[in-house]
Amino acid sequence: MNRNAAPGPVFYEFFAGGGMARLGLGEAWTCAFANDFDPVKAATYRANFADAGAANGEGHFHQGDVWKVAPADLPGQADLAWASSPCQDFSLAGARAGLQGGRSSAFFGFWKLMEALSAEGRGPDTVVVENVVGLLTSHGGADFTALCRALAEQGYRFGALEIDAARFVPQSRPRVFVIATRLPVEGLAGPSPFQTRAVRDAHARLPADLTAAWIWWSLAAPPARNTDLSALLEPNDQVAWRSDAATAALLDLMAPAHRAAVQVRVQSGERAVGAVFRRMRGGEQRAEVRFDGLAGCLRTPRGGSSRQTLLVIDRGQVRSRLLSAREGARLMGLPDAYRLPRSATAGLHVIGDGVAAPVVRWLADGLLTPLAFRKTAPLAAE
């Protein structure tokens, strides 16, 4: 696909999952190519986007290892390449293997393609790399430096923003977005609430030649969020509740402070919804509950402790249940028309590895779309 033939800007979506970056970019953007190796995510992507093609048919979605994608597989020239590369090796919950880890090294499979496209004169004008905030500090900042070095060597200027999806949806989900471009950035650089301390510290660790290529992206704060966790839940009579014994066992796992927070709400008689995670603390399993109107960060359901539990207190009664896949989709800003896998585990697998669509939309409106429409202007020095 030639970007000049498309009605709007064109993008490639790598590590596409269920297409949440595409949903965030919106219909003004045209997806020319998408890739993911996971069969469940691939099936979900195809189920939601008619132009993606069938499993063995024509379409822009390519299922398979990014290392096996050839430059010839990518049509035309894109305005944007989006890469939500695997985050497990950067996560604080993982082994912190960094860019050399088995999963996150997939980034270099993606980057190999970007280098090849640039050699052909059709590299994307702008690249976004989305990952967990641990990317900024992995290996003492060496992995972030390696990423910035790769971008700079291909002529990109770059900067990072840390955005918590809680600004948009009732889920605590901080992520870092590295936005790199070869285009003019006048009017798009300046202060931003998303230039967090973690971002500033990461910038300070970079060598001088890379700080010279840095852009302090200006992105305004969104309007205050007006929904909480309770507003996104299914009706009580349409969900499966745990037994009283299971709920009691969950409460027994709580430290005194968390038990006290539950008891206060029991005594009030008012409805309260809490999100519960089970964690290991001092070698013991603990259940921790939050009543701030937010869910904890959604994860892929690899084990029982990774499934988020809801604690619902109403008129002094305490009940518990697992978060449903549809509720998880809402916490990612997806419409109810979004097609999920039939299995709750598969649905949460797709959702837990995704990017919150409203965050992408805010980035697109504030930075990515304005960049796409200045590609014919000369690059000016800051």
pLDDT score of 379: 43
pLDDT score of 87: 62
CA distances from 332 to 32, 147, 164, 216, 359 (A): 24, 27, 12, 27, 9
How far, in Å, CA of 240 to CA of 160, rounded?
A: 42
Task: Kindly compute the dihedral angle of the four CA atoms of residues 120, 121, 123, 124, in this order, to the nearest 10 degrees.
Answer: -150
CA distances from 140 to 100, 296, 373 (A): 14, 26, 37
Structural domains of the chain, with CATH: 3-222+354-372 (3.40.50.150), 235-323 (no CATH)
pLDDT score of 96: 46
pTM exceeds cut of 0.85: yes
Q: What is the pLDDT of residues 285-319, one digit of tens each?
A: 899 999 999 999 998 876 544 578 999 999 999 99
Half-sphere exposure of 286 (CA within 13 A, CB side): 14
From 78, 93, 13, 117, select the one nearest 355 (Cα to Cα): 13
Q: What is the pLDDT of residues 105-154, one digit of tens each?
A: 788 889 999 999 999 999 999 999 999 999 999 889 988 998 999 999 99
Residues with catalytic annotation? 87
Residues of the chain with pLDDT under 50: 91-96, 103, 304-305, 376-382
- Please state the separation of Cα 103 from the chain's center in Å: 16
Q: Amino acid identity of 13?
A: E
For the chain, the first-to-last Cα distance in angstroms comes to 33
CA angle 44, 50, 51 (to 5 degrees): 110
How far, in Å, CA of 163 to CA of 194, rounded?
A: 6
3-state secondary structure the chain: CCHHHCCCCEEEEECCCCCHHHHHHCCCCEEEEEEECCHHHHHHHHHHCHHHCCCCCCCCEEECCHHHCCHHHCCCCCCEEEECCCCCCCCCCCCCCHHHCCCCCHHHHHHHHHHHHHHCCCCCCEEEEEEEHHHHCHHHHHHHHHHHHHHHHCCCEEEEEEEEHHHCCCECCEEEEEEEECCCCCCCECCCCCCCHHHHHHHHHCCHHHHCCECCECCCCCCCCCCCHHHHCCCHHHCCCCCHHHHHHHHHCECHHHHHHHHHHHHHCCCEEEEEEEEEECCEEEEEEECCCCECCCCCCCCHHHCCEEEEEECCEEEEEECCHHHHHHHCCCCCCCCCCCCHHHHHHHHHCCCCHHHHHHHHHHHHHHHHCCCCCCCCCC
